[in-house]
């Protein structure tokens, strides 16, 4: 009759310190070997090679229609970096644009893509630990459009379009655990390869942390370059027949009303008379 190991014998093997340490080491090596640190292959192409600062300060008001959080972060970054190039940036624009010289309307369209190569990287790539030394392929695209207009006249100054396409490599254990499918002939790796063709949303904040400050500085420099020859349009204040500006007369009239020195009727009558001189 065949004899089976006693429960006591099995218990002794499981409690063997050497076996436990070996198991822990194997698990650690597997987890480390299944990761690939985030790498942006072409980020260096978005570093500025020259710096153009504005000769004279220009007040720039930023408007944006972005609703996505990541896109809003890019818009804020563009404004922050633009201030390094002698621009006075604000997002608090008066209704009549009187507190800015230029209005920069910024739109961002972003697209996040996986890659069909990820299937082969996972299967049969798991046989040679491909996710660890190569990483999965991803692409993050930002199409940034900046339209510059003169704040006083509404006249177009320039339109800047900057397409950004980041080539990314990354892998971590939440996907590469399927490499353990060598235990059962690769079925898990095959199915995982199909699933992992898609983009991994987990890397979005990591890409933003690594790349946003480079991209936004690159775009801010393009904007500064477009404004280097810009001169704010001087709008002449209308004057009356006596040479005094209409604006000054209206300010004086408003002051008299606020102090209660004239009635509402007198205020309206005098205001109408002042405006009739235009």
Task: Take residue 78 and report the two structure tokens written for it.
Answer: 């563009």
Q: Give 158's contacts (C-beta < 8 A, 6+ positions apart).
A: 147, 148, 226
Contacts of 167 by beta carbon, 8 Å cutoff, 6+ apart: 40, 41, 42, 137, 139
* pLDDT tens profile 130-139: 566 567 888 9
pLDDT tens for each residue of 148-179: 999 989 999 999 999 999 999 877 655 444 45
Query: What pLDDT score was predicted for residue 4?
Result: 45
- Residue 142, classified by CB atoms within 10 Å of its CB into exposed (0-12), middle (13-18) or buried (19+), is buried
Distance from C-alpha of 16 to C-alpha of 43, rounded to nearest angstrom: 50
CA distance 101 to 159: 16
Would you state the pLDDT for residue 124? 56
pLDDT confidence of residue 259: 80
Q: Tens digits of per-residue pLDDT, 204-254?
A: 999 999 999 999 999 999 999 999 988 876 555 555 556 577 778 778 888
Of 12-21, 52-61, 110-119, the range with the lowest mean pLDDT is 12-21
Query: Which of 235, 143, 131, 126 minimizes the C-alpha distance to 184?
Result: 126
Instruction: Convert 103-154 into a string of H (helix), E (strand) and C (coil).
Output: EEEEEEEEEEECCCHHHHHHCCHHHHCHHHHCCEEEEEEEEEEEEEEECCCC
CA–CA gap between residue 40 and residue 51 (Å, rounded): 23
Does this model's pTM top 0.85?
no
Q: Which ranges of the chain would DSSP assign to H, the alpha helix?
A: 7-14, 17-33, 69-82, 117-122, 130-133, 173-176, 187-195, 204-227, 246-258, 264-275
Task: State phi, psi for 6 to the nearest 5 degrees.
Answer: -70, 155
Structure tokens at 237: 């204040």
Choice between 82 and 230, residue whose per-residue pLDDT is larger: 82
Name, in order, each residue with C-beta under 8 angstroms of 265's C-beta and a sequence gap of 6 or more. Answer: none
pLDDT for 229 equals: 86
- Domain range annotation of the chain: 36-227, 246-275
Summarize the confidence of residues 99-120 as an average pLDDT: 85
Largest CA distance in the chain: 126
Indicate whether 107 pLDDT > 50.
Answer: yes
pLDDT value for 34: 62
* Nearest Cα residue to 248 out of 269, 274, 267: 274
- Of residues 241 and 87, more confidence is placed in 87
pLDDT at 128 over 60: no
Query: Of all residues in the chain, what percent carry a pLDDT higher than 70?
Result: 66
36-227 architecture in CATH? 2-Layer Sandwich (3.30)
Burial class (CB in 10 A: 0-12, 13-18, 19+), 20: exposed
Place of tokens 């990314």: 168
Q: Quick one: average pLDDT of 4-15?
A: 46
Mean pLDDT of all residues in 19-26: 45
* Residues of the chain above pLDDT 90, percent: 37
pLDDT of 143 strictly over 60: yes
The residues facing 113 across adjacent strands are 139
Rounded Cα distance between 110 and 165, Å, is 10
């Amino acid at each position: 009759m065949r004899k089976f190991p006693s429960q006591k014998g099995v218990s002794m093997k499981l409690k063997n310190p050497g076996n436990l340490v070996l198991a822990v080491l194997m698990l650690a090596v597997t987890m480390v070997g299944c990761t690939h640190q985030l790498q942006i292959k072409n980020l260096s192409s978005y570093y500025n090679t020259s710096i153009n600062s504005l000769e004279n300060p220009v007040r720039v008001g930023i408007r944006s229609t972005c609703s996505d959080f990541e896109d809003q972060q890019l818009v804020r970054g563009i404004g922050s970096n633009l201030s390094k190039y002698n621009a006075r940036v604000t997002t608090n624009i008066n209704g009549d644009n009187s507190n800015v010289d230029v209005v920069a309307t910024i739109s961002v369209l972003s697209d996040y893509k996986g890659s069909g190569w990820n299937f082969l990287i996972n299967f049969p790539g798991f046989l040679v630990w491909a996710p660890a030394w190569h990483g999965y392929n991803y692409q993050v695209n930002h199409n940034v459009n900046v339209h510059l207009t003169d704040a006083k006249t509404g006249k177009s100054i320039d339109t800047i379009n900057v397409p950004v396409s980041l080539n990314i490599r990354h892998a971590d254990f939440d996907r590469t655990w399927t490499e353990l499918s060598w235990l059962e002939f690769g079925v898990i790796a095959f199915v995982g390869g199909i699933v992992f063709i898609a983009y991994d949303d987990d890397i979005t904040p990591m890409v933003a942390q690594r790349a946003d400050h480079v991209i936004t500085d690159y775009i801010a420099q393009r904007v500064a370059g477009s404004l280097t020859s810009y001169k704010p349009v001087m709008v002449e204040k209308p004057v009356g027949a006596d040479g005094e500006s209409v604006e000054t007369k209206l300010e004086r009239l408003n002051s008299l009303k606020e102090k209660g020195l004239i009635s509402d009727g007198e205020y309206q009558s005098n205001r109408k008379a002042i405006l009739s001189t235009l």
